[in-house]
Amino acid sequence: MRTAGVLLVLFGLMIAAPAHADSGCTNGQPEATPRGPAEQVIVDYFRAVNDRNYGIAWGYLAPSMHDMYVTLPDFVSIMNQHVKCVRVTNIVPTAGNQAFRVTFDAEYFTRFEAGAGTIPPFYRVSGDQPPLIIDQATGP
């Protein structure tokens, strides 16, 4: 009886735990270790995108970024169409404490239409608490 209870608990945890979009999205590099809240919000955002927790990912974006995607359903559609999996592997400050060059391990279903066709590598984060992603770009 105790074994059955343990199995039920483990089975429940497997159902409740978020599944990664594709656990095979790894190039052998570890995920980046954030060095502060600004970097943490970038890592958390891409974890949420990878896990297909788009409502959570949307919450890490400032209103200026919402305007870029228009609506949450549009954001969900764009990410589902293009991003198979994504992991942040490195974050380097580029201009102070709020701008970063981000390196990814990413796989795509289809390339994005704009820019380089991939997830942009430059991000700016607000100085607010909690910080939010306020901009993304293909160059500094």
- With respect to residue 9, please indicate whether it lies within any of the assigned structural domains: no
Task: Say if residues 112 and 118 touch (Cβ distance below 8 Å).
Answer: yes
The pTM of this model reads 0.79
The whole-angstrom separation of Cα 112 and Cα 78 is 9
Q: What's the pLDDT tens digit per position in 16-69?
A: 333 333 445 767 778 899 999 999 999 999 999 999 999 999 999 999 999 988
Residue 110 pLDDT > 80, yes or no? yes
- pLDDT number for residue 115: 62
- With respect to residue 66, please indicate whether it lies within any of the assigned structural domains: yes
CATH number of the domain encompassing residue 54: 3.10.450
- With respect to residue 68, please indicate whether it lies within any of the assigned structural domains: yes
- With respect to residue 6, please indicate whether it lies within any of the assigned structural domains: no
Q: Which range, 2-16, 38-52, 115-129, has the best average confidence (pLDDT)? A: 38-52
Residue 111: which domain range?
32-137
Residue 15 pLDDT > 60, yes or no? no
- With respect to residue 86, please indicate whether it lies within any of the assigned structural domains: yes
The whole-angstrom separation of Cα 108 and Cα 85 is 7
- Residue, of 95 and 47, whose pLDDT is higher: 47
- With respect to residue 123, please indicate whether it lies within any of the assigned structural domains: yes
When divided into structural domains, the chain yields a total of 1
- With respect to residue 44, please indicate whether it lies within any of the assigned structural domains: yes
